Amino acid sequence: MDTEKSNSDWTDIEIQAAVDAYLSMLSREQSGQKVVKTEENRILREGALAGRTKGSVEFRMQNISTVLEELGRARIAGYKPAKNVGANVARSIREALNAPSTLTPEDFAPTADEATLEQRSAKLEKQPIKEVPKGIERPEQTQSSGKSFVRDPGVRAWVRQQANGRCEGCGEPAPFEKDGRPFLEVHHVKHLAQDGSDRPSNAVALCPNCHRRCHHSGDRDEFTASLFQKVERLKFE
C-alpha cells in the first residue's frame, strides 16, 4: 500500500499524464467500451510514469476520483476515492483536470460513431479553435446497422464554441451542464439524411427544446427559417 509521503514528489507532468489517462478511461467507460485498468496502468508505467510502481499509479487514480467527487463530477466506479489526498496533490490534479490535453491527429478524424465523435469534439472544444473547420460537404453513410453519417468532430466543437454556452435557437443559456460544459446539441439545419453537409454553414448549437422543435414541431419549417436570421454563418443548402 502506498502512502501519501512516497507520492508527494510527483511532478505536474506526471499528474497530468495520470489525469489524461483517467479521463480517457472514463469517457470510454461512459460510452460503453471495455476498459482494462491493469493494462492502462502498465501502459502508463512504460511511458510517462516510468519508475512508478503499479500501486503508486493505482493510488494516484484513486486521488483523482477523490478530487472529481469533490467537484461533483463523474468518476470511474472501479477507482474508489482515496481518503487522504495532500493539498498540493489535490491542487495539481484540479489544474490538470482543467488543462487542455495534447491533441493528436486522431482527435480530428471524422467518424460515424456517435460516442467517438462526442469524445473527440469534447476534447477539441477545450481549447480555442482558431481556424473554421472545413467540415464534410457530402457526409458518407456507414453500412452498419446504425446507418449513421461520418462527421467532423472539429465542426461540432467549433459550433459549440461559437454558441458560447447559449442556444442559437432561443438565445437562452444551456439548461444544464454535462461533464462541466454547457449541454448544447449540434443540429444540421438541412438534415444529413436530406444530403445536408456537415459544415459550419449548416450546423447550429441548440438546447434540447429547440432541437426537438426543429425535428418534431408543427412550426418546424418556420422555426428553421428563423435560424438563418439568428445565425449569420448559416448558408441555405
Closest approach of Zn ion to the CB of residue 175, in Å: 8
3-state secondary structure of 198: strand
Closest approach of Zn ion to the CB of residue 134, in Å: 21
Question: What spatial distance separates the first Cα and last Cα of the chain, rounded to whole Å?
Answer: 62
Give the interface segment with Zn ion, choosing from 84-92, 121-129, 148-156, 208-216 (CB under 5 A): 208-216
To which H or E segment does residue 222 belong? Answer: helix 220-230
Task: Name which of 45 and 190 has its Cβ closer to Zn ion.
Answer: 190
Among 133, 139, 169, 200, binds Zn ion (CB under 5 A): 169
Task: Name which of 159 and 167 has its Cβ closer to Zn ion.
Answer: 167
- Tell me which residues in 23-82 interact with Zn ion (CB under 5 A): none
3-state secondary structure of 164: coil
Task: Name which of 60 and 151 has its Cβ closer to Zn ion.
Answer: 151
Among 99, 115, 129, 170, binds Zn ion (CB under 5 A): 170
Dihedral sign from CA coordinates of 27, 96, 106, 21: negative
Is the separation of the CB atoms in 121 and 153 below 8 Å? yes
Give the interface segment with Zn ion, choosing from 19-27, 98-106, 114-122, 162-170 (CB under 5 A): 162-170
CA distance 220 to 47: 52
Among 15, 23, 207, 234, binds Zn ion (CB under 5 A): 207
Cell of 59: 493510488
How large is the angle between the packed helices 220-230 and 208-216, nearest 10 degrees?
Answer: 130
Closest approach of Zn ion to the CB of residue 180, in Å: 20
Residue 210 binds Zn ion, judged by CB under 5 A? yes
3-state secondary structure of 161: helix
Give the interface segment with Zn ion, choosing from 10-18, 101-109, 165-173, 229-237 (CB under 5 A): 165-173
Among 85, 112, 124, 167, binds Zn ion (CB under 5 A): 167
Closest approach of Zn ion to the CB of residue 124, in Å: 20
To which H or E segment does residue 177 belong? Answer: strand 177-178
Is the separation of the CB atoms in 9 and 89 below 8 Å? no
Task: Name which of 25 and 214 has its Cβ closer to Zn ion.
Answer: 214
Residue type, 196: G
Binding site for Zn ion (CB under 5 A): 167, 169-170, 187, 207, 210
